[in-house]
Amino acid sequence: MRIAVFPGQGSQSPGFLSPWLEREGTVDRLEQFSEWSGVDLVAAGTEWDADRIRDTQVAQPLIVAASLLSWSSLPERESVSGVAGHSVGEFAAAAAAGILSEEDALRLVGIRGRAMAEAAAAEETGMSAVIGGDEASVVARLEELGLTPANYNGGGQLVAAGALDALAALSSEPPSGTRVIPLQVAGAFHTRYMSPAVETLRAAASRVEAFDPRLIIWSNRDGSAVSSGSTFVDLLVDQVASPVRWDLCMTSFASVGVSGIVELSPAGTLTGLAKRALRGIPAVAVKTPEDLQAAGSLLGDAADA
């Protein structure tokens, strides 16, 4: 079983799209993606600085666009049997699986990003990664502080979200055996603070056509495989204010006998988690076009296995 995974917010970096623009047709595709999403993705991916591309209404379509560019360039793509995305990466996964057209995926991501930015501006909130420690003890500490475990990333990593003063208290008195790292994000994503964005996205999603997936696709909700396209779109909408269970997605990968993982651009985060949680499973992060050959070789080798 070969699986392609699509990263979420925070995986972008200044100028990361520049090598991709050297490929024929990429600028034209990005300009089309820009029109659909409402963001100048060429400038965002090549010229804008870290602060500007950290803005959630920029970061979300930028990441999905990069993932779709690299997915369409992936050698041996027909060897991929399943896909999954982390948070906003689920939109790229949905397009790769044929649930959404690229146009609908980019339009919805543009709306999602703007709605989440507006929700984040309503209150001063944030997110922090909690590395290590006993998960039950970490979650108990978050509950004490009124924080939400927003991302269960597996590999000993959990992301807490909520009010800034509560996150400061978490950093000053972290759970035993943990490190707390504040994240440079605009708000408490995947929590109740994003509820207004859910309704905005739900209204937009009701106007798109969803098709049943051509590939196995796993949901962030609980790591389960979803066979209905309309059900997956409903889950995409609800996920805006619900925790990301990437740990359960990786458990599902193991249960189906994953033999290789390729992470699409802007890659690195999910392959890093996989190396800790799925030890021994070969993985390739497609960061630049130079990584496509290694990804194709992994998929080809896995197909022959």
Which residues are the active-site residues? Answer: 87, 190
Tokens representing residue 101 in the block: 């057209």
Instruction: Give 42: exposed, middle or buried? Use CB within 10 Å, 0-12, 13-18, 19+.
Output: middle
Pairing of strands 216-217, 82-85: parallel
| CB-CB contact of 302 with 79 (8 Å) | yes
- Helical axes 89-96 vs 56-72, angle rounded to 10°: 30
Kindly give the residue spans of alpha helices, DSSP state H, lying in the chain: 26-37, 41-46, 50-54, 56-72, 89-96, 102-122, 135-145, 164-172, 195-205, 229-239, 246-255, 269-277, 292-304
**How far apart are the C-alpha atoms of 210 and 236, rounded to whole Å?**
12
Q: How many other C-beta atoms are found inside a 10 Å radius of the C-beta of residue 174?
A: 18
Instruction: Give 50: exposed, middle or buried? Use CB within 10 Å, 0-12, 13-18, 19+.
Output: exposed
